[in-house]
């Protein structure tokens, strides 16, 4: 097991190219199950999660080829089975999304209930209820979902009781080959959903309304192959933007979709940073002086993303004043707070709110990553802290950030990865 060691207190200066989005790549990989033709995915990030998904798809009979460069090609000419076992699904929650495509193509599936980051309950009942409305028979059997749809799935009118990115994406993956029309109401609107729909439509699907609360799907009998570039990772872009804001300096981010972070840029500006952007790049600059305190609350897209909450809190730890950060998406996403306190932060958690009283300096300390985005917050604060910080359990980090120590090192960060003796 590795750890990351950072000697902090130095500003960042340079340029960082943003990789393809983890949250989109995993679902696009699942698309390969819906066709017997090759699916080519340029701008594919190399991450623990994409590797886990590749292992699961290979188990199901998909030919998975990486490269050249940041590209993956998947070919599910024939599937070897329809069971996704616990040992593969437990490693990553999003691997559960093979259930819908297997139901759509093979009309049956046996998939283990998922694992993943412990940041909230995130039940899959919305997914299963949607599949039942599409005509599937669902049974739970010793930790597995056993699903069948004799004669195939049928179009339906489905209303989600609350907005769920995972349920929206998964239901689209199931309904695209269903017989008839499906209408999804109260859908999530994230850019990753739009990316998924654009890929499916390029394969011959008929999906309308992605990015809006109502999506209509006219089922088709088959899908063709495709070459579809993975959308840039807005969470990676936001993380590095907040790293520059926290540590100070001047960092230009390239290969981004700046419009996907419309809720973040004004907040960084309010905190006292200069933000200069166009469609595919953004420049974050912060000189001397402390950031300013800014309140923020997480919301479904296009609101402020929960996946940047921990990183924004890291910036507020050094702000001049008091900020209130409210988490509305997940009920257990303040696990990074005790670790930040170890570095000298002043944070009080009350239910879904964290009160952050900014301090003049943070100090290096041994800390532990508790989940993917929390680990990024610790990285950002360690860059600004005086002295040396050792961050353990960085396997969380490797799930969603490609070569983070290399990208930050190119901007002057004194950061290295080394074996963890503990």
Tokens coding 315: 């910036």
Residues pairing with 304 in the sheet: 298
How far is it, in rounded angstroms, from Cα 203 to Cα 400? 27
Which secondary-structure segment (H or E) carries 16?
Answer: strand 12-17
> Is 117 in the active site?
yes
The arrangement of strands across the sheet holding 282-286 comes to: 12-17, 249-254, 282-286, 274-277
Reference 262, options 168, 190, 169; nearest CA is 190
How is residue 124 written in tokens?
Answer: 């899959």
Tokens of 319: 């702000």
| Closest CA relative to residue 389, chosen from 7, 1, 12 | 7
How far apart CA 54 and CA 59 sit, in angstroms, is 9
Q: How far is CA 219 from the centre of its chain?
A: 28
C-alpha 146/C-alpha 143 separation (Å) is 10
Can you read off the two tokens belonging to residue 368?
A: 């532990």
Which one from 117, 187, 199, 337 is the annotated catalytic residue?
117
The angle subtended at Cα 49 by Cα 253 and Cα 317, nearest 5°, is 50
The H or E element containing residue 131 is helix 125-133
SS3 (DSSP) at 132: helix
What is the chain's Cα-based Rg?
22
Q: How far apart, in whole angstroms, are the C-alpha atoms of residue 223 and residue 210?
A: 18
Give catalytic residue positions: 117
């Amino acid at each position: 097991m590795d750890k990351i060691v950072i000697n902090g207190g130095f500003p960042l200066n340079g340029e960082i190219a943003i990789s393809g989005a983890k949250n989109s790549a995993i679902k696009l990989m699942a698309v390969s199950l819906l066709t017997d033709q090759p699916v080519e995915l340029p701008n594919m990030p190399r991450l623990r999660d994409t590797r886990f998904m590749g292992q699961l798809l290979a188990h199901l009979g998909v030919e998975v080829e990486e490269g050249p460069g940041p590209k993956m090609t998947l070919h599910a000419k024939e599937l070897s089975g329809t069971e996704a076992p616990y040992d593969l699904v437990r490693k990553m929650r999003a691997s559960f999304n093979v259930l819908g495509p297997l139901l759509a193509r093979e009309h049956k599936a046996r998939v283990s209930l998922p694992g993943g980051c412990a940041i909230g309950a995130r039940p899959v009942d919305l997914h299963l209820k949607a599949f039942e409305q599409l005509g599937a028979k669902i049974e739970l059997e010793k930790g597995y979902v056993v699903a069948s749809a004799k004669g195939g799935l049928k179009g339906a009118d489905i209303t989600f009781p609350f907005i769920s990115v995972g349920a929206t994406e998964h239901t689209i993956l199931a309904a695209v080959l269903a017989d008839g029309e499906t209408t999804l109401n109260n859908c999530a609107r994230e850019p990753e959903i739009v990316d998924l729909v654009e890929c499916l439509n390029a394969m011959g699907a008929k999906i309308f309304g992605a990015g809006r609360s109502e999506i209509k799907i006219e089922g088709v009998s088959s899908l063709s192959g495709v070459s579809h570039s993975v959308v840039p990772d807005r969470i990676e872009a936001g993380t590095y933007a907040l790293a520059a804001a926290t540590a100070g300096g001047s960092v230009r981010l390239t290969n981004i979709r700046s419009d996907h972070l419309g809720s973040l840029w004004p907040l960084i500006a309010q905190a006292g940073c200069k933000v200069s952007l166009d469609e595919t790049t953004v420049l974050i600059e912060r000189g001397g002086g402390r950031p300013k305190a800014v309140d923020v609350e997480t919301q479904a897209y296009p609101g402020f993303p929960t996946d940047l909450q921990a990183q924004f809190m890291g910036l507020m730890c050094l702000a001049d004043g008091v900020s209130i950060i409210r988490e509305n998406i997940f009920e257990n996403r303040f696990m990074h707070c005790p670790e930040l306190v170890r570095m000298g932060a002043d944070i009080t958690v009350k239910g879904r709110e964290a009160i952050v009283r900014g301090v003049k300096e943070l100090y290096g300390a041994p800390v532990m990553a508790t989940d993917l985005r929390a680990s990024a917050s610790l990285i950002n604060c360690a860059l600004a802290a005086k002295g040396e910080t050792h961050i353990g359990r960085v396997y969380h980090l490797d799930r969603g950030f490609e070569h983070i120590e290399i990208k930050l090192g190119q901007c002057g960060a004194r950061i290295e990865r080394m074996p963890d003796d503990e």
